[in-house]
Structure 1
Amino acid sequence: MKRIVNRLRPFLTRLPDQRQKRWNVLLLIVVAISMILLGRFLGYESTDIVQSREILRLTSTPHIVNEASGVASRGKPLQGLEVKRDAALLEKAPYKVYAGVYVANNFDVDLEIPAFSSKGYLWMQWDQAFQEYLSERELSIEEVISFENDINPETTAITPLREARKLGQGMFSQGFVYTGQFYIDTLDLRRFPFNSVSLPIVLEAEDPFGDLVFENLRLIPDLRDSGLGLYSSLPGWLSRGWSIGEYRHHFSSGLGFSSEDNEFSQLIFDSSYQRSSWSAFWTLIQPLIIVMASVILITRVMTEFRIEIPVAVLLTLIFLQEGYKADLPDLSYLTFMDSVYVIAYLTSFVSFGLVLYLEALKRRAANAQDPDLRRLLLRRELFLEQIWPSLSLSILVGVSLVTWTLT
C-alpha cells in the first residue's frame, strides 16, 4: 500500500497545479471575451460630429497674429486671388468702423462653462456716411456694434466715456468702458494640464434691418492702440500674448429677412495664456509619481503585505483623478492627464497580477519535492522581481510620451 501511495504522490501533487492552470486559462479567456465585447460596445458610439456651417475667414485688413507656440490659430487665411477680391470689397464698402480693444483685466476663468470675465476699454471711429446711417435710425454706435460672445447681455455693460465727438476729415469717435462675462469658443483641453487657452472678445454688428452685412460694413482693427493692460495676468497661467483681426463671418442663416446666408464683419481680440508647467507638474504629476513608485518598486517589498499595495494604489488613483476632474467640463475626448491615469490603472492591475503570481511561485517552490523544479521556480521568481521595476517604469514613461505626441 505504501509503495502504491509513493508512486502516486507525484501525480497527486500535480493535480492541484493542473486544476489551477485550467482556472487561470479560463480566467484569461473570460477577460479576453469581456474586452472584445467592451470594444464592440464602445465601437457603436458615433463619433461623427455635426459641423456648424458658420465659417470664419481672415480678411485683407491688417491684423496681428499670435505666433507663440501652442496657441491655436483662428480662422482660415485668404489665399491667392481671395486677397484681391476682399480688398476690392473693402474699397467698395460704404461703411467702415475702426475699432480697438484694450483689455485692462481678465479674471474669473471658468473652464466648466467655459467662460471668463473681462474689463477694459473699447473705442470706435467712423465716417460721415455711417454717422448719417445712425442718425436716420436714431441709434448710437454701441447699439449697432456690440459683443457677439457675451454670455449674459443683461450683465454686460458698455459705458460711454464721453459723447461721440467729431474729428477732422469728417470722422467721428467715441470711447467706452466695458465689463462682462464672455464665452470661450476655442477651448481645447487635449493636452491638459499643459494646455493653453485663448480668451476672445468678439465684436459684430447687430443688424435688425439687414443693411450691415459684410459688403456694407467693415470692422477694421486698430493695431496701434489695442493690447493687454498691467492687470491682465491670471494666477497659475503665463501670458502668451494677444492677437486682433477682422474676420468674415459666414452666418448659415438669413435671419428671417433674407433668402440667402448672411455674412458679417467680425472683429476678434484674443488674449492667450499657457498653464504654468512647473505648477501643473508639482500639483498634479508629482503626487501621481509618488503613488506609482510603490507599484514600480513593489517587487522590492519583501513583506507579506505587498499584495495589498496595488489595491491601495488603485483607490488612491481614483481619488487623485476625481480631484483634477472637478475643475474640468465634461469632455468627449480624453485629455493627456486622463491617458496617463489609464496607463497607471493598467500598470497597477498588472502589478497586482504579478504579485499574485509571485506568491504562487513561492508556494510551489516551497512545496516542490524535486530540487531541479524548486531551483527553476526560484529563478523565475527572482527574474520577475528584478525585471519588473525597469520594465514598468519604461512602459509608463514610453507610453506617456507616445500619448503626448499623439494629442
Structure 2
Amino acid sequence: MKPVFILVLSAQLSGLCAQEAATGQQQVFTGVYLMNLYDLNVNEYSFYADFYIWFRWKGDRDPSGIEFVNSVEKWGFTTEMFSEEPKELAGGWMYNGMRIEGRFYYPFALNRFPLDKHELVIQLENTDYPIDSLIYLPDTSRFLMREDFVIPGWEVEKAETASHTNAYSTDFGEPTGARSAYSNFTFLIHLKRPLSYFALKLMLPLLVVILASLGALFIYPSYIDARISLPIGGLLSCVFLQQSYSSALPDVGYMVLMDQIYLLSYLLIAAVILNVMLSGNKAATKDGMNFKGLYNNNKRLAIYLFTGYFLGIALLIFL
C-alpha cells in the first residue's frame, strides 16, 4: 500500500512540475546576422535591411511567430524559414530561423548634421505570447554582420543586440482586456557620417568663400568698387552652397549644425560689407585722410573676424 501511495504522489508531483514548466516564462536565445543594409533614405526616414535571425529555446512555444515593430511597406517583406518545423538539438534545445528582407522606419535626428550619429534599429515582438510566457534574450554570437559590410557614405561603428519589455498603455478597445507587455528584441547598428564629408565637401568651399570675403579688407580703402564686390560675391556663394546641401535633407523645424555655421558666416560677411561701406564713406567725405592707418585697421579687423569665426565654429561643434 505504501509503495502505491508513493508512486501516486510522485506522479502528481511530476504532473504539477510539468504544468508549472508549461505555464512559466520560456527563454528564447535570439541571434542576428546582417547581410546588407541599403537605400538608407534620410528624407523618408527609412532603410532596407537583409539579415538572418534565429531562435534557440527549450519548451513547446514556437517563438517564430513574430512581427517587426518598426517595419514599413509590409507588402514588400520577404521571409524564408530555415525549415518548416523546428530542428531538435542536443540537450533538448529546439532551433529554427529565417531570412528577412524588408524596409524599416527610423526617425533620423539631424540636429548635428553633418556630424550626426545614428542608431538604426530593427525591433521584433512575438504576436502570440506576452512577456510572462516568452522572452527573447540576445544570443552569445560575436558576429552580427558580414566582415566586409559597408554602407556607402557612412562609417559603421558597431552592432549590438538588446532585449527589453514593451508595455502597451492601451486595452486595444477591449474594456475587459488587460494591458499587455511583450518581450521586445532589438538589433542596433551604430553609424556616423565620415569626417571627410564635413571637412572636404562642406567646410572647405565655405572657408574659401569666407577668406575671399575677408580679402576685401586687405584692399586699399580707396578702391571701393573692388572691395564691395568680394563680400557681395561671397554672400551669393554662401546662399548657393547652403541650398546645395539643404536640398538633400528633409524639411525639419529646427536648425541643423551646418545651418548654424552658415548663420555665423552670414554675420561675418555682413560685418565685412558694413565695414567696407563705412570706410568708403570716410574716404569720400574726408580729404587728406590717412588711408594707410585705415588700411592697417581693416587688416587687423579681418584677423579678428576670422579668429572669432573659427572659435565660433569650434564652439558649435564641441558644445
- In the superposition, the TM-score normalised over structure 1's length comes to 0.67
The equivalences for 1:90-109 within 5 A come to 93-109=24-40
Q: Paired residue for 2:5?
A: none
Q: Are 2:114 and 2:198, in contact at CA under 8 Å, matched by a contact in 1?
A: yes
Q: Deviations over 1:263-290 (max 9, x none)?
A: 2111111111121102321111111111
| RMSD of aligned Cα (Å) | 2.1
Within-5 A mapping of 1:171-320 = 171-185=93-107, 187-207=108-128, 212-224=129-141, 226-257=143-174, 259-302=177-220, 303=223, 304-320=225-241
Tell me, which stretches of 5 or more residues in structure 1 are unaligned?
1-91, 132-140
Instruction: Tell me how far apart the structure 1 counterparts of residues 184 and 135 of structure 2 sit (CA, whole Å).
Output: 8
> Which aligned pairs between 1:46-85 and structure 2 lie closer than 5 A?
none
Contact preservation (8 Å) 1:93, 1:215 = yes
Which amino acid in 2 is paired with 1:106? L
Shift of 1:225: 5.3
d(CA) in 2 for partners of 1:193, 1:400: 13
Q: Which residue identity is paired with 1:254? A: D
Count the aligned residue pairs: 292
1:297 aligns to what SS in structure 2? helix
The partner residue of 1:154 within 65, 75, 84 is: 75
Q: Which moved more, 1:296-305 or 1:264-273?
A: 296-305
Richer in strand (by share): 2
Change (3 A) 1:154 1:226: farther
CA–CA distance in 2 between the matches of 1:387 and 1:225? 58
Distance 2:249 2:181 in 1: 34
Taking the aligned partners of 1:223 and 1:149, their CA distance within structure 2 comes to: 24
Aligned partners of 1:158 and 1:178 also within 8 Å: yes
Structure 1 counterpart of 2:228, which letter? Answer: I
Q: Which residue of 1 aligns with 2:308?
A: 395
> Once the 2 structures are TM-superposed, how far is the Cα of residue 226 of structure 1 from its aligned partner?
4.9
Alpha-carbon offset, residue 171 of structure 1: 3.0
For residue 114 of structure 1, what is the aligned residue in structure 2? 45
Q: 1:180 to 1:364 in 2, by over 3 A?
A: same
Partner SS, residue 61 of structure 2: helix
Secondary structure class of the residue paired with 2:136: strand
Does residue 384 (structure 1) correspond to residue 301 (structure 2)? The answer is no
Residues 93 and 292 of structure 1: CA distance in aligned 2, closer, same or farther (over 3 Å): farther
1:127 alignment partner in structure 2 = 58
SS state at 1:363 partner = helix
Q: Residues 226 and 360 from structure 1, CA distance in 2 versus in 1: closer, same or farther, beyond 3 angstroms?
A: same
Post-superposition shift, 1:146? Answer: 2.4
Task: Give the whole-Å Cα distance in 1 for the aligned partners of 2:69 and 2:234.
Answer: 48
Q: Percent identity?
A: 22
Which SS does the other structure have where 2:72 is aligned?
A: coil
The one-letter code matched in structure 2 to 1:168 is A
Could you give the per-residue CA deviations for residues 73-115 of structure 1, whole angstroms, max 9, x where no partner exists?
Answer: xxxxxxxxxxxxxxxxxxx843322211100111111111211
What is the TM-score of this pair, normalised by structure 2? 0.84
Contact 1:243 1:270 in 2 (8 A): yes
Does the 8 Å contact 2:36/2:51 carry over to 1? Answer: yes
